[in-house]
């Protein structure tokens, strides 16, 4: 009994440390990106040594994969939490809003759009691929529902809408607005959502 308790506590502590490693990784990935993030960066940020870091994650690839998996879990959770009363388009909008706010708080985009290198690496991660496919299927369905109900443009191919939707989650305009305009976060989100669904042209 006391052994179980001890193990459980140890496991908890281990899990907590892993979470803090993932937090650090998320922040560094958001600012420096994959290629420039070093294992030293991560270890130094949380005050452990590099070998200790490797006790938790067996490689940089593993560490980043785990980080992305956690992010995907967050997105899926958000999507599942949305009230059923929302329309398909409203759900898509709400999830995009969540993703934009995550980024504005120092998180990172959950699409590895930036680099073919990173994309290929993640595609070797079965856990990641599984979760991506599952989330993708849900979003694909939402897009098609929204098109059927004329909430989204039914003249556009579904994949054009879906890929453009993904692209908006990592739209660099967000960083530019955050850096160069005096706009607050709420206004940035509001405008990004409007641009996504209504476009740049006059209504």
> Per rule CB under 7 A, is residue 87 in the interface with DNA?
no
> Which residue in the set 16, 36, 160, 183 belongs to the binding site for DNA (CB under 7 A)?
36
Instruction: Please say which residue, 33 or 106, places its beta carbon nearer to a copy of itself.
Output: 33
Residue carrying the six token digits 């994309």: 119
Contact characters 19-58, a copy of itself, x per CB under 8 A: ------------xxx-xx----------------------
Least distance (Å) between residue 33 CB and DNA: 11
CA distances 135 to 28, 76, 111, Å, are: 25, 6, 12
User: Do residues 65 and 118 touch, judged by C-beta distance below 8 A?
Assistant: no
User: Nearest to residue 96, comparing CAs of 113, 111, 84, 115?
Assistant: 111
What would the x/- binding string for DNA be over residues 40 to 59, using CB under 7 A? x------xxxxxx-xx--xx
Contact 65, 149 (CB under 8 A): no
C-beta separation of 158 from 88 below 8 A: no
Which residues sit at the interface with a copy of itself, rule CB under 8 A? 31-33, 35-36, 89, 111, 113-117, 150-154, 156-157, 159-161, 163-167, 170-173, 175-177, 180-181, 183, 191-192, 194-203
């Amino acid at each position: 009994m006391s052994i179980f308790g001890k193990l459980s506590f140890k496991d908890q502590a281990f899990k907590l440390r892993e979470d803090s490693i993932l937090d650090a990784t998320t922040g560094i990935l958001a600012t420096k990106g994959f290629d420039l993030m070093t294992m030293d960066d991560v270890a130094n940020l949380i005050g452990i040594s590099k070998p200790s870091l490797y006790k938790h994650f067996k490689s940089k690839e593993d560490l980043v994969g785990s980080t992305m998996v956690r992010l995907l879990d967050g997105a899926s959770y958000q999507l599942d939490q949305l009230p059923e009363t929302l329309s398909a388009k409203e759900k898509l909008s709400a999830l995009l809003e969540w993703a934009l706010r995550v980024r504005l708080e120092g998180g990172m985009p959950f699409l590895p759009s930036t680099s073919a290198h990173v994309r290929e690496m993640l595609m070797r991660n079965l856990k990641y691929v599984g979760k991506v496919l599952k989330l993708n299927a849900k979003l694909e369905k939402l897009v098609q529902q929204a098109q059927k109900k004329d909430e989204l443009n039914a003249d556009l191919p579904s994949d054009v809408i879906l890929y453009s939707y993904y692209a908006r989650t990592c739209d660099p305009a967000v960083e530019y607005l955050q850096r160069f305009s005096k706009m607050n976060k709420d206004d940035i989100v509001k405008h990004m959502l409007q641009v996504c669904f209504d476009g740049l042209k006059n209504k």
